[in-house]
Amino acid sequence: MLKSEHLLKTLGPGILIACAAIGGSHLVWATRAGAEYGWTLLGLVLLANFLKFPFFYFGQHYTASTGESLLSGYKRQGSIYLNTFIVINLLTGSINIAAVGMLTASLSMPFLGFLNLELTYLTILIFLILSGILYFGNYAVLDRLSKWIILILTACTIVAVVLAFFNQSPNTVIDTQAEINPYTLASLAFIVSLLGWMPAPIDLSTWSSLWMHSREAQTQHKATPKEVAIDFSIGYGITTLLACLFLALGALTIFKTGAQIPQSGIQFSKQFIELYTNSIGAFAKPIIIIAAFFTMLSTTLTCLDGYPRSLATSFALLNNSSNQSNCVDKKHYSLMLVIYALAASLILLVFVKNLMSLLSFAATVAFLSSPVLAWINLKVITGSNVPLKHQPAPWIKITSYIGIVFFTLISFLFIYNKLF
């Protein structure tokens, strides 16, 4: 029987994954899906969340079942799997941090504009502040902030969608006949980007596994698989709900207006704020700005922690003859934190004027790596070291195979379309 005090001590890693996901995939790709294609991509968004569900779940479930991090499971299966993860991490980490950091900085302009800093330098300043918070506060700060931010954002978004629905003018009422068909080769690049970050890149499944060890150290409670399933379900459920709500906001307020999604960070954030205020009313603008800013701040914070933490753990495992390396060495973690912050800052200097291109590249890489990481996660969770009673249920295994086949086929179609 689950004890409420134990469950409360377990809650955290699943909600942190929701915070990491919402910033890029929801604010950018789900909103664009609704703005450019109306409601036609809602089914695909739900499908993406459903098919990726097992692979994110495996991250926390493996740790609860074996006591090892998911990355330790990669090492147990063979160094090639861990090296594959490291390559993907290095290829996408700095880009993703740069992209979400830029959005955070652009949303901070209303109350940090007095600093008179260009967007690039404001983003770098935010990186410095967040890196300091992570160095001195580490997981405890992440855990406390994420729960409040998710509650505020979910409430604000639900209110915005309800008001947007009832405030529709006659020419914006849902009309499926007028919607654009996105399921064409011309739209394939957008579909791939949407799927890559919806609800998040699969490599983030390793983060929640590592955060479980940090949560255990904080609360002195080792979570059971049942407790972890609840934490994961809450976080993933919120993530899926918000994806649908952001798509709805794009469909209800931008679609059919002819408005184009801006390519620069500042213009994108301005239009996002207008999207909310047009739905709720000008009186709510300050609340919306604060909620949106702290949402992106939370995403940037989790990315700045997750990428260095997972890479530091991976290198520690490669240099360790055993498969055990659950707690990250502070010195190595700090070094990776500095490297990622510097690399993200350098990327900003090049891509500051074209946010969407930066996001598109990162999302495309995330999608193309999905079949590989999905297969590795399935291989790890079905390994001989996982007790039979904790092996995935048959329906989860079937869903996993369907997901791997689906992502592989779309990846081949995308590559073929690019080459030929």
Q: What is the average pLDDT across 54-64?
A: 94
- Residue 173: pLDDT above 60? no
Assigned token pair, 99: 């992209």
List the one residue out of 213, 260, 221, 236 whose CA is nearest residue 51. 236
Per-residue pLDDT of 226-254, as tens digits, reads: 889 988 999 999 899 999 998 998 888 87
Q: What is the average pLDDT across 299-307?
A: 90
Q: Taking each helix axis from N to C terminus, what angle separates 119-137 and 79-107, rounded to the nearest 10 degrees?
A: 120
Instruction: Please name the amino acid found at residue 330.
Output: K
Q: What is the average pLDDT across 336-346?
A: 93
pLDDT at position 259, please? 66
- Residue 82: pLDDT above 90? yes
Burial grade of 87 (CB within 10 A; 0-12, 13-18, 19 or more): exposed
Over pLDDT 70: what percentage of the chain? 87
Dihedral sign from CA coordinates of 54, 384, 315, 322: positive
Give whole-number Cα distances, 133 to 42, 129, 136, 209, 302, in Å.
37, 6, 5, 21, 12
DSSP secondary structure letters along 103-135: HHHHHTHHHHGGG---HHHHHHHHHHHHHHHHH
| Residue 176's pLDDT band (cuts 50, 70, 90) | very low
- Residue 85: pLDDT above 60? yes
- Residue 395: pLDDT above 90? yes
Residue 25 or 77, more confident: 77
Q: What is the average pLDDT across 384-407?
A: 95
Mean pLDDT taken over the chain = 84
What is Dmax (Cα atoms) for the chain? 67
> Is 222:9 a contact under the CB 8 Å cutoff?
no
- Residue 10: pLDDT above 80? no
Report whether the peptide linkage leading into residue 199 is cis, meaning its omega lies within 30 degrees of zero.
yes
Q: What is the average pLDDT across 196-212?
A: 91
pLDDT at position 321, please? 60
d(CA 78, CA 264): 42
Q: What domains can you pick out in the chain, each with its CATH number? A: 4-419 (1.20.1740.10)
- Residue 175: pLDDT above 60? no
| Residue 13's pLDDT band (cuts 50, 70, 90) | confident
> Is 280:160 a contact under the CB 8 Å cutoff?
yes
The count of other CB atoms within 10 Å of the CB of residue 110 is 15
- Residue 17: pLDDT above 90? no
d(CA 124, CA 339): 13
pLDDT at position 191, please? 92
Buried b (16+ CB within 10 A) or exposed e, 390-410: eebeeebeebbeebbebbbeb
Buried b (16+ CB within 10 A) or exposed e, 294-316: bbbbbbbbbbbbbbbbbbbbbbb
| Residue 177's pLDDT band (cuts 50, 70, 90) | very low
Per-residue pLDDT of 137-169, as tens digits, reads: 766 776 777 777 778 778 878 888 888 787 765
- Residue 355: pLDDT above 90? no
Dihedral sign from CA coordinates of 46, 293, 312, 6: negative
| Residue 213's pLDDT band (cuts 50, 70, 90) | confident
Residue 407 or 348, more confident: 407
- Residue 324: pLDDT above 80? no
> Is 230:329 a contact under the CB 8 Å cutoff?
no
Over pLDDT 90: what percentage of the chain? 38
pLDDT at position 264, please? 58
